[in-house]
Chain A
Amino acid sequence: MSVLPMKRIVICALRKDRKQVLELLQRQGVLEIRSSLSDDEVFSRQDKSRMAATFRKSAEACEQALTVLDEHAPEESGLLSMLDGRKPLSTAEYEERLRTADEAVRTAKEINSLQKRCSDVRAEIPRTESQLVAIRPWIGYDLPLDFSGTKAAAVFAGTLPGELTQEQIEAALAEYAPGLDDMEVNLISAAPEQTCLCVICGRKHEAELRDALRRMNFAKPPVASENPEQALRDLESRMAELQAEAGELAEQIRGFAGKRDALRFASDYYTMRADKYDVISGLVQSRLTVIIEGYAEARCAESLERALTSRYELVFETQEPAEEEEVPVALRNGGFAAPVESVVESYSLPGRHEFDPSVLVSVFYYFLFGLMLSDAGYGIIMTIGCAYALLKKKSMEPAMKKTMKMFLYCGISTTFWGFMFGSFFGDAVNVIASTFFGRPDVRLPALWFEQIDDPMKMLVFCFVVGIIHMFVGLGAKAWGYLRSGQPLDAVYDVLFWYLLVGGSIGYLLTLPMMSQMLGVKTLSASVGTVAGTAALIGLAGIILTGGRESGSWFKRILKGLYAAYGITGWLSDILSYSRLLALGLATGVIAQVFNKMGSMVAEGAGIIGAVIFIVIFLIGHVLNLAINALGAYVHTNRLEYVEFFGKFYDGGGRAFEPFAQNTKYFKIKEEI
């Protein structure tokens, strides 16, 4: 239920056992290794980063090969397979597989080089294709394209922009080179983008013709020494070759599909080895010994000591961390609160002297999420879906399991609120009963009231929820002060605020205008006096103590006034809870829209109508569930982070990162 107590561990082992000890630690995954000792004449660090880099490279090669295999021979996987956790391996199996690792890396390199060739070939194909496109208009021209003429005649083969006829070309040439009488224009092909032609003239007019052609934007053809038809045939056969080669390479790669498992193992194995060498680089070692320092959870320290001392000759020391040390933080909670640890973690872990707010967060998390989604149908879907996944996939990773559990609880809460507000796929019960069975009187009664009928009541309820949520947050702040022995701060920063905010709310409710607007009973004048007095005491207290860290009274009062200005923050925080109403209504109303659309089509259309109704119903509600579950998730987080944590929680703790198997596919189990 709290931040786990950590112990400082110092292990002094023999250097010959270094590998085994580290491997055991890695498999146990309970010790975060952090060396604080500095080098001296006996102990020094060894730089193993080169080795680590080599191993990482091997692991990357395997990963790359796996991606290649996924591209050429995709693996079939079930819908729920993404929930599968890493595959467990016993130590014996692990030892067994060790021998395959080197070969797997060779295989990976082979696959990668095949893939490189394959992609080279594939890149060549469009290049050849574009050459083919360039040569095609020249079919019918029976000279090599770079043929420039004979002794007596000059030949110009090339293209002119645009689609031109023989007459147009001749006319243009006659205009640019009026003296040319011995030329011949051969039109080879004409297309809207270019005209291919060959012009022949006597050598003596060569310069003149070249000039004329240049002025017409004449361009040289794609160079090819053979004649176009030969070139075309060559290119076509090259193309066929390339395609065959690409196919064959892909086939070869596909042949390695059976090696996936070995590649995965090798990837994990080399990642682990690289991690290990990174750790070794940080350890101080003498000629015969090595010192491993770090942190472990207090409850694991003993079993770790037993495991190590029973196997190796070493000194194992457990110390209480010093007060000023930055001890890593790990949270541990019961089944109900554990799922929201990730929510706390993604805000920030508790800092030094702070307590773990997970339990408080969890209660409100499920409550608020359910209130926002508030539809029994959706809640049941979420509950069943998560429960099914949890039961079906035992091997799920712990983090995934927590998320699933979180949404399971959220689903239960959603179902609860759905029945409270009489919403089951919106007003599906009523719509189906009246459309298909002619019974508009049948409806799912709300256990409490329907949000849509009385939004004002719902709004007031939301504000009440908000005030409770934030008062609990404020209470948590007081608890934090009391824990660290600062009861006076609890009075100044918490009790005064309780008085001010609580008193103000009480006083406002005695005003008929306010209570009528909110639709609640007006409180009597005597309550108003008490509440008003409480609020004034709170206000005075805050003004006097809000700036208590300042020395001079003038500064202190000014700061106190500024602190009291924080009441505006409370106003906006309370209003912020109106999102509970807005999102709740959004779910309900959009569900109604889809139901209405379905029933409008289905009205009196018999069986076909029913089928269309079902289709619209399914698509509509899946969409609505997805969008509103997202909305509920985001805004629950917001209320927890901004409104709730804003009252008491700073965070800033460093996460506990034990030296463990950070693998992707396998986890090696070992009993100690």
Chain B
Amino acid sequence: MASMGIFFALAGAACAALMAGIGSAIGVGKAGQAAAGVVTEDPAKFSKVLILQLLPGTQGIYGLLIAFITLTQIGIMGGDANLSAVKGLLYFAACMPMAFVGLISAIQQANAAVSAIALVSKKPDQFGKSMIFPAMVETYAILALLVSILSIFGIAGLAV
């Protein structure tokens, strides 16, 4: 059981990267389809819809960030990789907010982004506002990221 610590921690890191990444992939894909549709009609809107398409992409980056911090903390990226099973589970739990919120918020953000793209295609001057709707969804991914980061940094100091 003692050697299971590193496994749990790695599983957590992998989940964060996996699920947030999947969410962003789905999200950016969805928004990309809508964006491409707009560009067929009006190529001049490319830069605007591209920005909107990219908005659901940040969750994947946050997932990567959590995974990376976890990997450095548990010593997989060089260093001592000895971890108690409890600590490993703690890391696993710490990664969960990012994993789940990342997955779902990216998809929901994509829905908002698709509508925002439709908005920009009809009213290009409303770009500033259209950007805010998807960004609202992202708040929750950011909060999850924060909880994950603070937990991971906190776990390092625990004596378990």
Contact = CB atoms under 8 A, between A and B. Distances in A.
A347 B128 contact: yes
Contact of A589 (B58, B69, B150): B69
Contacts of B65: 585-586, 589-590
Given A581-B146, A630-B54, A343 B132 contact: no
B145 interface: yes
Interface string B127-153: 111011001101100110110011001
A346 B128 contact: yes
A585 B142 CA distance: 11
Name A's interface SS.
Answer: helix
B57 interface: yes
B55 A634 contact: yes
Interface residues of B, number: 30
A579 interface: yes
A579 B142 contact: yes
Contacts of A582: 62, 142, 145-146, 149
Contacts of A347: 128-129
Interface stretch (A406-414, A473-481, A525-533, A637-645): A637-645
A468 interface: no
B12 to A, nearest CB: 16
B51 interface: yes
Interface in A630-667: 630-631, 634-635, 637-638, 641-642
A56 interface: no
A642 B149 contact: no
> What is the size category of the interface that chain A forms with chain B?
20 to 34
B100 interface: no
Name B's interface SS.
Answer: helix
A7 interface: no
Nearest to B50: A630
Contacts of B132: 637-638, 641-642
A400 interface: no
A346 B146 contact: no
A586 B62 contact: yes
Contacts of A455: 149-150, 153
A596 interface: yes
A627 B54 contact: yes
B61 interface: yes
A343 B51 CA distance: 16
Interface in A545-582: 575-576, 578-579, 581-582
Interface string A515-526: 000000000000
Nearest to A581: B146
Contacts of A585: 65, 149
Given A455-B153, A582-B145, A585-B149, A346 B61 contact: no
B77 interface: yes
B152 to A, nearest CB: 10
B132 to A, nearest CB: 6
Contacts of B142: 578-579, 582-583
B139 A579 contact: yes
A627 B57 contact: yes
A424 B69 CA distance: 19
A401 B54 CA distance: 25
Interface in B102-159: 125-129, 131-132, 135-136, 138-139, 142-143, 145-146, 149-150, 153
B64 interface: yes
Contacts of A343: 128
A578 B62 CA distance: 14
A31 B93 CA distance: 64
Contacts of A589: 65, 68-69
A346 B150 contact: no
A456 interface: yes
A21 B126 CA distance: 34
Interface of A: 343, 345-347, 455-456, 459, 575-576, 578-579, 581-583, 585-586, 589-590, 592-593, 596, 627, 630-631, 634-635, 637-638, 641-642
Please list the 3 inter-chain residue pairs (A to B) with the smallest Cβ-Cβ separation, ordered nearest first. A346-B128, A638-B135, A579-B142
Given A631-B58, A634-B51, 17 more contacts: A455-B150, A578-B143, A578-B146, A579-B139, A582-B62, A582-B146, A582-B149, A583-B142, A586-B61, A589-B69, A596-B77, A634-B55, A635-B135, A635-B138, A637-B132, A641-B129, A642-B132
